[in-house]
Structure 1
Amino acid sequence: MNWFVAKIVYQIICGQGVHQPQFDEQLRLISAGNKQEAWQKAASIGQQEQHSFLNQKKELVEWRFINVPELYALDDLKDGMEIYSRVEEPENETSYVALLQMKASQLQVPKVLALNL
């Protein structure tokens, strides 16, 4: 078997859909014999994991599977290898960097503090 990284994309629609378009891009690890089989498995996951629910305002929220637009073979797994890259172009550079720093700091909780939680 071979390993692949598949991007599965869902559109998130709330209520009548009168809101800024929203999409969830998920990277999934797929084990398959070849690229075609990996794509089929990823598409099957996308179909199976579509769902809808009512939010707090009793509006229908739908996660609609769009497709699997990207699929990458992981030929030789190595420590630190890049598996995905995306260029971000935020409206506000300072806010974007601050958000990244805040998220990173939450991952760096000292062990002593973590033991006391």
Structure 2
Amino acid sequence: MHWFVAKVVYQIICGNGNHMPQFDEQLRLISAINKQEALRKAKEIGVQEQYAFRNQKQELVEWKFINVPEVYTLDQLTDGMELYSRIEEPNNASSYLAWLQMKSAELQEQKSVELSA
């Protein structure tokens, strides 16, 4: 058996879909004999984990499975290894950097709360 990282993509549709398009890109760790089996398993996960619910406005919100566009082989699992890389090209670099700093600060705050509990 080998380890693979598969990107599973869902489209998030709220109500009649009259909103900015949203997609959820998930990286999934897959154990399989080969890349073809990893792709098959990732697609099965995508289909099985589609779901829908009603939001506070009673609009239907759906996570609709789109496909698996990428599967990468992991030759071995090692501490700190790169699993995935994507180059981001934001329209506003300052906003992007501020968002990253905010997310990092939230993570640090969670860690502090967990340590004090």
Q: TM (normalized to structure 1)?
A: 0.91
The amino acid that maps onto 1:21 is P
- Counting aligned pairs with the same residue, the percent is 68
Which residue number corresponds to residue 39 of structure 1? 39
The amino acid that maps onto 1:24 is D
Q: Summarize the alignment of residues 38-117 of structure 1 with structure 2, pairs less than 5 Å apart.
A: 38-109=38-109, 114-117=114-117
Aligned residue pairs total 117
Which residue number corresponds to residue 4 of structure 1? 4
Q: Summarize the alignment of residues 8-19 of structure 1 with structure 2, pairs less than 5 Å apart.
A: 8-19=8-19
Q: Structure 1, residues 65-103: CA drift from partner, whole Å, max 9, x if none?
A: 000000000012222221101111112111110111111
SS at match of 2:44: helix
Q: Structure 1, residues 10-58: CA drift from partner, whole Å, max 9, x if none?
A: 0011111111111000000000111111111000000000111111100
Is the alpha carbon distance of 1:26 and 1:110 closer, same or farther for their aligned partners in structure 2, counting shifts above 3 Å?
closer
- Flag as ranges the 4+ runs of structure 1 deviating above 3 A: 109-117
The unaligned stretches of length 5 or more in structure 1 are none
The amino acid that maps onto 2:79 is D
When the two chains are superposed, the root-mean-square deviation of aligned CA atoms in Å is 1.7
Alpha-carbon distance in 2 for matches of 1:111, 1:62: 32
